[in-house]
Every structure is written in C-alpha cells, then in structure tokens.
Amino acid sequence: MFNSFCAYRFPGEKQIQLFKGNLTEGICEGFVIAPFDMSVHNPVSIASLHECDWSELSEIIRFRDDSASIYEFPSESTTRKQHKKEVESIIEELDGNPEKKTIAAKVIVRNQAIDPSETFVRLCKEFPSSFIFVFYTPVTGGWIGASPELLLDCDQGMLHTYALAGTRPADSEGDWDNKNINEQRIVERYIASCFEKWGLKPECSHPSTCKAGKVEHILTRIKADTSGHITNLLSFLRDLSPTPALCGLPKEESKERIIRLENFNRGYYGGFCGPFQSPSRFSFYVNLRSVRFDKTRWCMFAGGGITSASDPDAEWIETERKAEGIIKNLQFVSQ
C-alpha cells in the first residue's frame, strides 16, 4: 500500500501532475521534500511514483497517520505582540549593519479540516504564475501552497534560479524604496556567491517586479552552466537553502536567531520541494505561501525580511497580506 502522495503544477502551465508512492530518505528519483534546517533532518523523497487521480489521494488522506510526523504541529498562533517583540529583538541584534538581515515568521493556527484537492484546484486558478503543490508523507505530514520562488532548476546541466525579495502591495506605483532594494541585493549576492564557491559563473539579469497575489517582489534571474562542477548535489543545496529570503545573513547566525526567537518550529516551511529525475534534471521550489494540515487542523506560515531599517508594525501588515492571499482560497471539508 502506498503511504504518500504529491500533486503539483508548474508556473504558467495547466497540466496537473498527481502521484502516489512510498517514502524514502535522501534525494531520489521522484518528488523531493526538504526541511528548513537540513543540518537536523535530511530531505526525503516520494519514490516509485505511480500516476493516480484525486479519489486515490483521498484514500491516502483518509487512512494517514499524522502522529508519525517528525515536527510537532504548532499549538497556537503567533500574536501581534509576540511578532513585534521578535522583530524588535532582531533589529537590536543587527546593530545597524545594512549587510545583515533575518527573516521573522509567524504562524496562524485554526481548527478546521482542509479539503486538499479542492484547495489545490482553487490555488491553480488564483495563482497561475506560482508553483502549486500539495503533498503528504508520514514523516512530513500534509502541506499545500502556492510558491512564487524557484530555488533551483536544472535542465541538461544548465542551472536557473531567482533572487526574490522585497515586498510591497501589488500594483504599487513608483520606484522601490532603498530598504527593499537592499534586501533583494543581499539575496542576489548570496546566491551568486554560492554558485561561485562551486566554480560556477553566475549570469544575473536586471531586476524586475514580480507579482504574487496581493503583493509583489523584486526579482533577478540567475543562471549558470554546471559543466560538471557540482559533484555533490546535497552539499550544494545545503549551501543554497535556506536562502537569505527565508533565513537571512549571515546564514548560521540568522538560523540560530530564528530558532531562539520564534514560538514554533518551521519544519518544512522555508525548505523546498519538487520533482527530481536526475542530477541534471530537476525543479525545486521554496516551500512558502504554504499551509500545513492534518485531519482536523491547518496552520499558515508567513514571514518577512527584517533589516536595521524595518518597522515592526509594517512587517506585521506585510505578513498579513502574504497570508491573506492563500487563506481566502482554502477550501474546507463539509461537516
């Protein structure tokens, strides 16, 4: 009996891929799922994929065992007071350094049962330019989301990724402010440095504005020819993920700060997921704008980049905008 499933739709496409399979540890041919902190747990893969339909996925959901998940389900929502305290602590610890940033996230917890298949279809309609995904495994639990951010795509040895950061309301007029421009440049420089560390020569496009639901971001496209330089894909991914857009810089300092200050464990939020065929052909997207769910509950994660120029109240409003676009499209099981 298969114990795991995944479904996904690539940005700009209409075809939905639905599979069932069994879970295995590591990066294997199939659908790969990695946590925020890969120093604690390795990625897992849904392997030996078999095409299926929504009715078969519903059977897997019905008989799943949520108690096997390795990360505890968040017990309560982050309050505005808690978030403000976290942001203020981060700003203080950054000590005015414009080259440092840390991502402050919050979680919204509700006691409602999500209908994954109906929610997936709704997200596909509402977010045509995002990577839409849903998966369940006994180790990860259930997750569904609409990610605007590519972590890494490889097609016949040519790598592609984005540097995506900075946030403001969708369809804003005028130029981006310095706070957001600097935040995005930090991400771009970090990704480029990761490529260079592995002997790659990154090519970066000019920044553009990318819309994602009710918000928009600054985006730079980055590409490089691997030419056999990446001899250990998992090590390369550990260098790259989590990116400064989900963790911060310096990376280990930011990660320590996140673990210390947040009132929940991110688990797979901020990690990545996507199909893997071989080391020269895969597509991994960042797990964000995402919801974790079990049989009776769901929780939504949303974060923002904190620099020394951040305003705590504005950061809370930003997370509300990011969460709203997903939450309003959730579909629930009829009682």
> Domains in the chain, please, with CATH?
4-327 (3.60.120.10)
Report H helices in the chain: 54-62, 80-94, 116-126, 178-197, 233-240, 251-261, 312-327
pLDDT at residue 1 tops 70: no
Q: What is residue 80's predicted lDDT score, i.e. its pLDDT?
A: 97
pLDDT for res 78: 97
pLDDT digits (tens, 9 = 90+) for 237-251: 999 999 888 999 999
State which amino acid sits at residue 314: A
pLDDT attached to residue 172: 92
State pTM to two decimals: 0.92
pLDDT of residue 55: 82
Partners of 8 in beta bridges: 17, 133
Choose the weakest-confidence range: 9-23, 42-56, 60-74, 179-193.
60-74
Contacts of range 40-46, beta carbons closer than 8 Å, 24 or more positions apart: 41/70, 42/234, 43/234, 43/237, 43/271, 44/137, 44/139, 44/140, 45/276, 46/4, 46/5, 46/6, 46/19, 46/21, 46/22, 46/135, 46/137
pLDDT digits (tens, 9 = 90+) for 123-175: 999 999 999 999 999 999 999 999 999 999 999 889 999 888 888 998 899 99
Percent of the chain with pLDDT over 90: 77
Average pLDDT value for residue range 41-51: 95
Give residue-wise pLDDT tens across range 286-302. 999 999 999 899 999 99
pLDDT value at position 57?
A: 76
Distance, CA of 89 to CA of 129 (rounded, Å)? 35
Q: Which of 11, 6, 305 is nearest to 153 (CA)?
A: 11
pLDDT in the model for residue 63: 63
7 has pLDDT over 70: yes
Q: What is the mean pLDDT of the chain?
A: 92
